[in-house]
Amino acid sequence: MQYYRDLVDELLTNDIIPMVTLYHWDLPQALQDVGGWLNESIVDHFNDYARKCYQELGSKVKYWITHNEPYETCWSAYGLGEDAPGFTAHPSTYPYQCAHNIIKSHAKAWHTYDSEFRATQKGKVGITLNVEWKEPKDSTQTAAADRSIQFMLGWFAHPIYTNGDYPDVMIQQVGKKSREQGLEESRLPKFSQEEMDFIKGSSDFFGVNHYTTRLVEEKIHSPADASFLNDQDTLESVDPSWPRAASKWLYEVPWGLRKVLNFIKAEYNNPEIIITENGVSDSTGDLDDDFRIRYHSSYIQSMQKAMRDGCKVFGYTIWSLLDNFEWALGYSEKFGIHQVDFSNSSRPRRPKKSASWFKELIANNGF
């Protein structure tokens, strides 16, 4: 905890507003050993942890994020197996159980802050959700595209920012796919009315991680291949003209950000939004990174258009300050605006061209 006290103090000394994420995929092994996010007892454990952080740092931290990208926690880690704990055996049930407990843990941590700390600390608590824009592949595919974004973003945003429950299309779709398997009950867990009342409205702002866009069309999947992904009955693709980054999933499509922000405005009663991640990767970490300047410039301009549309965006942060450890991909992909020499034990840093560009952007408060 002393490390974080010192870090927060150093940020404030340099006129940087700290925004603390409580959970970004690192779970204590002792909790994973009893089921991790599949065990409902984790809701209380997470709340105890959140309370301790509020107590220790809340006098100086005014922005809290409960979870970063719970979609990735629940699908990539508990369904695809690409992230820890690497589960793959139950892709049609584990992701839904994981999300159910994460949503409840978020709501409980928000209520704890609201009832015990808000009056004195006067901060805000939100959640950060990652979302790709889902563009219909053609004019006949709007329902498929909407279904896709509801499964990705609405999975978490709809309970928290609307009525405390999952999106209607998700409830209907998972129910239908469950019946096709011969199951008597839906694989999508249900919230009680008391839980829905507790969950709805449990956020002070909307954190958005956005990088890219997908084209979506309908594709019916067999009940024999049941999974969270196949429950959607969709197929995704990209336009071959879109520039691709080093990350195989990341294509440069700046207009998608404007569409995402307007979707959030329309769907979730125009909440206050902060872009908590937006960035582009390469494999070399070269200092001359004009492509990164182009990417951020075009995405920021798309964000500005959304703000003129009435979207209430109050902040934008780049992923990332430094080249860093990109989870299962290690150091093979570089997102930073500062180069890090990982072959040197002291990890020296050097600013890339994009760092100078971003510094000037901040100093001028615009282009």
Q: Is 69 a catalytic residue?
A: yes
Residues 207 and 261 sit within 8 Å (Cβ to Cβ): no
Q: Is 107 helix (H, G, I), strand (E, B) or coil?
A: helix
Supply the DSSP string of 273-322, one letter for each residue. EEEEE----BSS--S--HHHHHHHHHHHHHHHHHHHTT-EEEEE--S-SS
Q: Is 252 a catalytic residue?
A: no
Q: Any idea what DSSP says for residue 251? A: B
State the Rg of the chain over Cα: 21
Residues 313 and 273 sit within 8 Å (Cβ to Cβ): yes
C-beta contacts of 56-61 below 8 A and 24+ residues apart: 56/1, 56/4, 56/5, 57/4, 57/5, 57/8, 57/20, 58/113, 58/117, 58/121, 58/123, 59/121, 60/8, 60/9, 60/12, 60/18, 61/8, 61/18, 61/19, 61/20, 61/123
Q: Which of 132, 135, 236, 277 is catalytic?
A: 277
How far apart are alpha carbons 184 and 305 in whole angstroms? 47
Q: Which of 40, 69, 194, 360 is catalytic?
A: 69
C-alpha dihedral, 255 to 234 to 131 to 170, nearest 10°: 130
Q: Any idea what DSSP says for residue 164? A: S
- How distant, in Å, are the alpha carbons of 11, 31, 238, 283, 354 from that of 248? 34, 32, 11, 11, 22
The residues facing 234 across adjacent strands are: 218
Nearest to 174 by CA among 193, 147, 192, 136: 147
Active site residues per annotation: 69, 277
